Structure 1
Amino acid sequence: MNLMTKTPLIISTDPGIDDIAAMTIALFDPAIDVKMIVPTWGNVALNYTLQNTLNLEKFLNTKVPVVVGANQPLVRPAISAASVHGETGIAGFEFEKADDSLVEKGLAATKMHEAIQASPEKMTLMGIGPLTDLALLFKQYPEDLEKIKEVVIMGGNIGHGNHSPLAEYNIAGDPEAAQVVFQSGIKIKVAPLEVGNKAHVTPEQMERIKECGEVGKMLHAMFSNIHETDGSNLIKIFDPTAVGIMLHPELFTMKEANVEVELAGKYTAGATAMDFLSDKPNAEIAVDVKTDEFADWFIQGVKIAEQGRK
């Protein structure tokens, strides 16, 4: 594939087990040129998400610049998902510790701005953690909005939440930041909680992933340590759905909606009110996924990563 046809991408992430899977797929997909990774606070504290990002790149033998993102939400106290992902965010696999040679000094918003302005192609942004850094970018550099192709988000929920009854974790972590992003006027694609619940792999498919080599063994070890609250043996791989809706929207049913983030509610803070009847939509929402085809794509992505890291 001609390099000029690759989509330039900046990933904002809080690894996190499923973030590791999403980055692994994205870093080696032939249609993507990952320009920068911005680890942020989220599933666990920033010191862990930063180190997890660097360790993954060392493991994969990639050299994408890493810029340190936000260490807390815009307004609220930080929350944590260490009970799901383990204290360091990646329970189940011990990476060799990487140095910080890939870290580029500077504020994340400014470094993203510089990359966006330097890119001959419009930049795509992927938010698979709290959206703090994307909100800071949009507020600090509004001139960048016209140079952004789209924002792809794993977050939000149509119905029941996973952080609270009505809020999904990534959005609940920084609802004010999410509202800034949804109000930006940029084209937005959303893989909500429901599509992540459905885009699972079975234990049998996870065994196929394990057989893909060192990358497969790494993902198998981590996903085997996720503690699903519903007791299901299906392995839900939420964040890779963001890569999926960016590259293969044909695997999903997408519907337009107007999305507003609840900021004030005592019991509903962080809820994403998705109005599919609105005549002023601001996002495309994935409401269904072809589960088997998605799993096949995911397994193929692991194989490509295994070949690419050598």
Structure 2
Amino acid sequence: MKKIPLIISTDPGIDDIAAITISLFAKEFDLKMIVPTWGNVALNYTLQNTLNLEKFLQTKVPVIVGANQPLVRPAISASNVHGEKGIAGFEFPEADQSLVEAGLATTKMYECIMASSEKVTLLGIGPLTDFALLLKQYPQVTSKIEQIVIMGGNIGHGNYGPFAEYNIAGDPEAAQVVFHSGLPVKVAPLEIGNQAHITKEELDRIKFCGKVGEMLYAMFSNIHEPDGNHKIMIYDPTAVGIILHPEFYDLRKARVEIELAGHVTYGASAMDFMAENPNAEIAVNVNTEKFADWFVESIKLADQGSK
């Protein structure tokens, strides 16, 4: 079976930890590198969280240090949701820097993509700063990219103000570069994460998936949504699901433009499902039962692989 070459840009972040964990052990993936970027919390935390996770899971995927701030705007933070260090609820053993490869993330991604015999999929589960820099600095790289799959954007109400979703609001200019890249872009928006929530019963199933399940159970149990919602929403892993199980989703073509000029609407994702020139496919529904079963089974698989 041909594996899907994959590069992840991420800002762990509790749900990022789940998405990375699943991706590290999915038999369908050849995970080439992980690029921590600023996002949910500052880069020094997202980098260390990535390294700590790999030490915990006993994996050796190279880690490349990504962007430490957005292209234009000041950085924002979601530490109120994910904790000061991004992973409230679980204490990882501290990892060293041995998995960090020297070099600029854009150049390392470019070299990796161009050297691959198969087209590479980019998975963006944080602000899209590093992917935007890659596309701008090395425009020829698009010929070797299969698709860009992101968790971000919103069809209706946002979670960073009324109009914007956090990952897009973090770096709207970078998101606009990605949507204007001419590449196939698939999107798991905020609404899909809201649909793919974890019930108490499913969270209990995760708890008994070995050491990996215990780790994720501890972190998911400590998520505090700003609106006080007690459901555990699953955001970033829904983007992994789009790559591996698109049949779980109802994907619809749309034209996506990111609002860059508005005062109240800055960072909003304008998704036009009636446009004649679509530039993305947006997940508008997900089979929650199939997704939940896959999610729990993927955690079991990760636990087995980490031993």
Root-mean-square deviation (CA), in Å? 0.6
SS of 2:293's partner is: helix
Deviating 4+ runs (over 6 angstroms) = none
- How far has the Cα of 1:232 moved from its partner? 2.9
Q: What is the alpha-carbon distance in structure 2 between the residues aligned to residue 212 and residue 91 of structure 1?
A: 20
Equivalent pair of 1:203/1:233 in contact (CA under 8 Å): no
- Residue matched to 1:76: 73
1:233-272 correspondence runs (5 A): 233-272=230-269
Alignment of 1:1-310 (within 5 A): 2=1, 5-310=2-307
Aligned partners of 1:223, 1:10: CA distance in 2, in Å?
Answer: 25
- Give the TM-score normalised by structure 1: 0.98
Amino acid at match of 1:260: E
Separation in 2, partners of 1:107, 1:229? 35
In structure 2, distance between residues paired with 1:272 and 1:101: 38
* Counterpart residue type for residue 137 of structure 1: L
Mapped contact 1:202–1:233 kept (Cα < 8 A): no
Instruction: State how far apart, in whole Å, the 2-side matches of 1:271 and 1:63 are.
Output: 37
CA contact 1:157–1:168 (8 Å) conserved in 2: yes
SS at match of 2:150: strand
Supply the distance in 2 between the matched residues of 1:196 and 1:171 (Cα, whole angstroms). Answer: 15
Shift of 1:11: 0.1
2:262 and 2:56 map into 1 onto residues whose CA distance is 43
Identity %: 72
SS of the counterpart of 2:285?
strand
What number of residue pairs does the alignment pair up? 307
- Once the two structures are superposed, what CA deviation does each residue of 1:36-63 show, in whole Å capped at 9, x if it has no partner? 0000000000000000000000001100
Q: What's the TM-score, normalizing by structure 2? A: 0.99
